[in-house]
Amino acid sequence: MTERVIRLAKKQISIHDIAAKAGVSIATVSRVMSGGIASEASRRKVEAAIADLGYESNTISRRLAGQSGRSLLLMTTDVVNPYYSALCQGAETAARRNGYSLTLACRELENRLDENTLEHLLSLPVDGAVLVGSAVENGTDEQLLDNLLRLQQKMPIVTIGPRIEGLSCVNITSDLSVSVKKSISHLIQLGHRRICYIGGSSDSRSYRSRRESFISEVAEQGLELLVEDNCGTGFSARAGEICTARLLSRLSDRDRPTALVAANDLVALGALRQLLRMGIRVPEEMALIGCDNQFFTPYLTPPLTTVDLHPEDHGRCAVEELIRIIGGSGDVNYSQVRECSLIVRESCGALLGARHFD
């Protein structure tokens, strides 16, 4: 039995070891490591020793001495949602590429940033934080502001999502109104005039913003606003199912919309299932458009037309901005609006060509 092999951990080599080996003081070692002033001679000796012993300065001590520990925090919601997991992937990759590590903090979807969580975050040994999901989505601007300002006192932050009034920080955002416009105009081109928005939760600021864009765009295009009361029941497939069932059950066949714009692909997935169950064919009798271009959308029947917000890109971008800010260079208060792309597949009937409804 090879039990107890664990924890041999030969004492890690320190700055002293290489100072000794190079025949200089630790101060000199520290200097050459940080690219400070040093004579060519000692620099060479030190570098040789470093290479020899495979020395790497200790994160902990470096941080204790007031330096960067090269680690970032990603505060997110519900990593199981593919939007967030893609974002997370993008963030982790970007962090690693830049020599940073990424600590993950998730919150349950419903909760906003509460006192306990905040304490936890504040105690983490990180150089900065990227915030996305409920921490920047749920609640009003005022509610969010308080906590975020407090967090910001301790470290620089970058938010992903809608901008928060009164918070000056770098913000990565999608122009949700563009995503809505692209969706609606695609549907209009295909002849649809009766379009309904489904899913989402009014707890979410993104949702509210996207829904507002939807309403104003519908008006602008001279379309009838079909159901204006809140149809949102969440962002899950189950929500899409329920929401679709509810919507269609209270509308007569001739009042029924011919197209559904879903809050995200999960909602669209549920809607698709419910439509099938009700015997309503997609896209012949009902067009459906999602949002997020999640991995499963091309494989649905029919393949789902959707909008790609490029979440990996959001994650990458946020991390790069954060690292830039930590480095102390450039603007620390602006929004960067990222592009989104309409991905046309078959669920809106693009293959059927433009039709005339009613």
Q: Give the interface size with a second copy as a residue count (CB under 8 A).
A: 64
Stretch that binds a second copy, among 188-196, 247-255, 268-276, 337-345 (CB under 8 A): 268-276
**Minimum distance between the CB of residue 323 and a second copy, rounded to whole angstroms?**
15
Q: Which tokens go with 328?
A: 């102390």
Interface residues for a second copy in 90-119 (CB under 8 A)?
A: 92-93, 96, 101-106, 119
Q: Which tokens go with 207?
A: 């949702």
Q: Which is nearer to a second copy, 30 or 59 (CB)?
A: 59
Q: Which residues of this chain interact with DNA, rule CB under 7 A?
A: 11-12, 14-16, 23-28, 30-31, 33-34, 37-39, 41-43, 57-58, 60-62, 64-67
Contacts with 179 (C-beta within 8 Å, 6 or more apart), sequence order: 210, 291, 307, 309, 340, 342
The 287-289 sheet, strands edge to edge: 195-198, 259-262, 287-289
Residue 130 falls in which region: left (phi positive, over 0), alpha (psi -120 to 50) or beta: beta
Q: Which is nearer to a second copy, 37 or 80 (CB)?
A: 80
User: Which one among 94, 237, 289, 348 touches a second copy, defined by CB under 8 A?
Assistant: 237
Q: Which is nearer to a second copy, 137 or 346 (CB)?
A: 346
Residue 333 makes contact with a second copy by CB under 8 A:
yes
Residue 145 makes contact with a second copy by CB under 8 A:
no
User: Which one among 61, 143, 189, 202 touches a second copy, defined by CB under 8 A?
Assistant: 61
Residue 299 makes contact with a second copy by CB under 8 A:
yes
Name the nearest CA neighbour of 263 among 196, 307, 207, 308.
207
**Minimum distance between the CB of residue 39 and a second copy, rounded to whole angstroms?**
28
Q: Which is nearer to DNA, 25 or 336 (CB)?
A: 25
Q: Which is nearer to a second copy, 119 or 358 (CB)?
A: 119
The site partner of 335 among a second copy, DNA, none (C-beta below 5 to 8 Å per kind) is none
User: Which one among 24, 46, 49, 88 touches a second copy, defined by CB under 8 A?
Assistant: 88
Residue 334 makes contact with a second copy by CB under 8 A:
no
Residue 296 makes contact with a second copy by CB under 8 A:
yes
Residue 332 makes contact with a second copy by CB under 8 A:
yes
Residue 3 makes contact with a second copy by CB under 8 A:
yes
Interface residues for a second copy in 241-260 (CB under 8 A)?
A: 241
Residue 63 makes contact with a second copy by CB under 8 A:
yes
The dihedral of CA 64, 70, 75, 81: what is its sign? negative
Q: How many CB atoms lie within 10 A of CB 206?
A: 21
Q: Which tokens go with 48?
A: 């040789």
User: Which one among 278, 301, 337, 357 touches a second copy, defined by CB under 8 A?
Assistant: 301
**Which residue shows structure tokens 């200097």?**
31
Give the interface with a second copy as residue ranges (CB under 8 A). 1-10, 56, 59-61, 63-64, 69, 71, 74, 78-80, 82, 85-86, 88-89, 92-93, 96, 101-106, 119-120, 123-125, 149, 152-154, 156, 168-169, 237, 241, 266, 269-270, 272-273, 276, 295-296, 298-301, 332-333
